[in-house]
Structure 1
């Protein structure tokens, strides 16, 4: 009977010990992450997690900081650098600074950080779990839809790349053929231009000679008229007294027109017609003016002047024809032909053409040669235009091939595409792999905020961010630049532009190209969530 009572006592004592020890362990391990439970064993001394010291286990969570890293007080606010683990069952376990424990504010969704206070914390872990689940499912659905479009872009990129390469080969073959054809057209053009230039040269030379004759006639008439006007006494001489009347010829305009000044012009006391022609006329022709007619003077014999002019004109023509016949036989034929059609020299209407500087129309043979050369030039120019066009296409294709559009070509849809973002004062326009600009809405010049530079995303995926650098320089500042960050979206569009730092712009851009297949295919278990 006594033995039975003793056994019963031992069983009851053991039971209380187990219960008591369990409560101690539960209390001691408050605020400790599950992954660190093996470090907190009540039957052993506790070693600070930073290895700085070892303390009796009863010092753990005794509201006194013994370890430098605060690891002995995971469940209290004793250590300023300690951390408290919120278990948050049904949601995501999190670490919070231990100084938030017992501060009267519910920081853990399960309220476990306020275990020693009278604050009643509502357990919001379920609601947070539901919200997180909905956000994750929405994100997954977005990435699923985006990945479908992304795969379409990649598939198109593969076809485009192959088509581009094929087209490049075709264009290079066409270019070689056209360059060979162009060389032949150039030779034909040069051959056609030789007789054309010769004929046009002859025509020009003939016209210049005829114009020189007309100018000589005009000069001779002007000189004769001036001589007759100066020779007031009709003695066939121009004297000092006669020229001295023309004070407009006095170069200093300060003193009287002296006899000595007049003599310096004439070179003598008087000059005859030939001397006047040789030494005086050129000196005074630009300044000479007729005197007002105050009395009736003996008029110049117009018949004699016309006869003299006609004789001089005929003499010039005969000299010109003799010179042409002596130098080139066929030139005389061209001259005669041209004279017959344009009435140059003696048959020219002097009053109409004396000051005419318009080149006469080409003869029929020259026109034919010009037409032949024009045809050759047009054919050459047409082939040359095709060569330039093909070279431009080749350059464009090579430029597109050299652009880094992602590992699988997922950013290939951006090539040669521009996108606008409207905000209150500006329109921001980014032309992918080219440049980005800020365009004022109120008028004014657009500003380049960067030229395509490189991909600059994180090491695990550099294609999530791109850099545009060396834009227009800010006033007293650096050159403008733009960083574009990509995130998953159904469409290609800019969703935000800011200037977080002066002259450094940040753009957020949505695109299917940034959608992640690992997120899209993440499994969801309706009866169990892992956070």
Structure 2
């Protein structure tokens, strides 16, 4: 190496009696490793070489550390000082390649290439970007401090409200117990009166059904007794072939006798053994013209007598057990005597319970009033419990070490794209809503904070969403970055069924960035 090359690679600095040699392309932090001496130890410790081999344009160290200022080593590194800007390191083979890689042009010191020094312009641009970032964080931190301040008040108010509700709940629950006792006291006579009313109605209905059966049986017997001998014979019943159970052969004498149980039956025998067997299948013969008329007046009189007897028994029981309710007069209104069998037939299939008497209505009104009061107090109890649960749920949410994410509680935010609206309800769930219609798809339920170890509050995870067709359950990762408003700015699906969201919020702004001094003009990477 000639003297000119050596002088270009070394700078001699005299300080007192100490002579120091500074080589090109070496970061300031590594200068002590290159102190002028007889030998040089490769930085990886692999070998020791004569110091004059350093920057001799020949690679002697395996790590290329002996040639920081030349392009001899393919794995070497050259440090750009870049005065006024940021020091950078480039691969050594960029040195002297005719391309200005360092903003101060020091990587082309051996060539005739003239490099414009752009470090000042880059420094100005970097300062502007850093200042803009600092200003953004400063504005965000100001809002973040407001959120933290409010969260302290909200937490204090929440705790006070929770104590107030828990104290009030005990009082309202005691009130509810009293209302429950009053309700039970009012429902007891109401239920008793309703039960008596129902029992009486069922007894009357049973009488009406008995009358209907009796009428049908009389008419059927009269029709079958064609010769009016007060008997139904095999020949008379055999005409009704619809009673033939097998419907395959003729209605034989043996089959008819099996129904009658004899060659003929009288009215009582017909009533006991035959009528119920044939009543559902029996059809009146169209050609039958003569039949013994049923004495409807006698049937009605008998029915009315039976109903009167039922009513009298009910009145007697009511008078003996509940004189204070005076059921004797009101209960008479419940009974509707059957004047004729025709009037009875009109109502025989009416299953509607008759209207309650006035005294029972009064009891129902009293019970309704007691129930309404109980329900009103019970509603207050449930409402207080819901409020307590909500406050406890809010208290349990991790909103950051200082409550900086407390503004998110019970808040939802939308991100619009062409096909979908993505809605995230903080600490609850996230959904994908199709703009073309159809049901919403849950892409995750709040799981927890998942940011890096030094700040876990920079990311949150929503998991166990709706399962993709033939795929995994959907999930969403939310990454927070500094901004002056709470809003999602991007949603993507980098992996099938795994969504990612970028969310701007003052809560993610950094006080250190907001208050950091401007960087020094010279930096090393």
For residue 298 of structure 1, what is the aligned residue in structure 2? 290
Offset of 1:62 from its aligned partner? 1.8
* Counterpart check, 1:403 vs 2:397: yes
* Counterpart check, 1:156 vs 2:150: yes
State which of 25, 29, 35 in structure 2 corresponds to 1:41: 35
Aligned equivalents of 1:111 and 1:351: distance in 2?
A: 117
Offset of 1:460 from its aligned partner? 1.6
Offset of 1:20 from its aligned partner? 10
For residue 10 of structure 2, what is the aligned residue in structure 1? 25
1:412-427 equivalences under 5 Å are: 412-427=406-421
For residue 484 of structure 1, what is the aligned residue in structure 2? 478
State which of 214, 220, 225 in structure 2 corresponds to 1:220: 214
Worse-matched range after superposition: 308-317 or 242-251? 308-317
Query: RCO greater where, 1 or 2, for CA within 8 Å and sep 6 or more?
Result: 2
SS across alignment from 1:437: strand
Aligned equivalents of 1:316 and 1:332: distance in 2?
A: 24
State which of 443, 466, 480 in structure 2 corresponds to 1:472: 466
Offset of 1:332 from its aligned partner? 11
CA deviation string 1:436-465 (max 9, x = no partner) = 111122222222111111111122211111
* Counterpart check, 1:368 vs 2:362: yes
State which of 302, 313, 316 in structure 2 corresponds to 1:312: 302
For residue 132 of structure 2, what is the aligned residue in structure 1? 138
For residue 16 of structure 2, what is the aligned residue in structure 1? none
Aligned equivalents of 1:50 and 1:150: distance in 2?
A: 48
For residue 442 of structure 2, what is the aligned residue in structure 1? 448
Aligned equivalents of 2:5 and 2:230: distance in 1?
A: 155
For residue 107 of structure 2, what is the aligned residue in structure 1? 113
Offset of 1:518 from its aligned partner? 1.4
SS across alignment from 1:66: coil
TM-aligned CA distance change 1:20 to 1:475, over 3 Å: closer
* Counterpart check, 1:356 vs 2:350: yes
1:141-290 equivalences under 5 Å are: 141-290=135-284
For residue 11 of structure 1, what is the aligned residue in structure 2? none
For residue 67 of structure 2, what is the aligned residue in structure 1? 73
TM-aligned CA distance change 1:335 to 1:176, over 3 Å: closer
Whether the aligned pair in 1 keeps the contact of 2:301 and 2:339 (CA below 8 Å) is no
Offset of 1:21 from its aligned partner? 7.8
Aligned equivalents of 2:277 and 2:5: distance in 1?
A: 137
Gaps of 5+ in 1: 1-16
For residue 52 of structure 1, what is the aligned residue in structure 2? 46
SS across alignment from 1:466: strand
Whether the aligned pair in 2 keeps the contact of 1:213 and 1:345 (CA below 8 Å) is no
TM-aligned CA distance change 1:229 to 1:162, over 3 Å: same
Aligned equivalents of 1:121 and 1:267: distance in 2?
A: 130
CA deviation string 1:453-488 (max 9, x = no partner) = 111112221111111112222223222221111111
Aligned equivalents of 2:422 and 2:55: distance in 1?
A: 58
TM-aligned CA distance change 1:318 to 1:366, over 3 Å: closer
Aligned equivalents of 2:40 and 2:284: distance in 1?
A: 130
Worse-matched range after superposition: 308-317 or 35-44? 308-317
SS across alignment from 2:89: strand
TM-aligned CA distance change 1:318 to 1:495, over 3 Å: closer
SS across alignment from 2:172: helix
Normalised to the residue count of structure 1, the TM-score between the two structures is 0.90
Whether the aligned pair in 1 keeps the contact of 2:318 and 2:328 (CA below 8 Å) is no
Aligned equivalents of 1:465 and 1:353: distance in 2?
A: 75
Worse-matched range after superposition: 468-477 or 506-515? 468-477
Worse-matched range after superposition: 123-132 or 434-443? 434-443
Gaps of 5+ in 2: 12-20
TM-aligned CA distance change 1:335 to 1:313, over 3 Å: farther
In angstroms, what is the RMSD of aligned CA positions? 2.4
SS across alignment from 1:93: strand
SS across alignment from 2:333: helix
CA deviation string 1:3-62 (max 9, x = no partner) = xxxxxxxxxxxxxx9x99865523971111111111112333111111111111111112
Worse-matched range after superposition: 426-435 or 156-165? 426-435
Offset of 1:164 from its aligned partner? 0.4
Offset of 1:121 from its aligned partner? 2.6
Worse-matched range after superposition: 170-179 or 462-471? 462-471
* Counterpart check, 1:457 vs 2:442: no
Offset of 1:188 from its aligned partner? 0.7
Worse-matched range after superposition: 478-487 or 341-350? 341-350
Normalised to the residue count of structure 2, the TM-score between the two structures is 0.91
SS across alignment from 1:468: strand
Whether the aligned pair in 1 keeps the contact of 2:22 and 2:31 (CA below 8 Å) is no
Whether the aligned pair in 1 keeps the contact of 2:72 and 2:93 (CA below 8 Å) is yes
Whether the aligned pair in 2 keeps the contact of 1:110 and 1:124 (CA below 8 Å) is yes
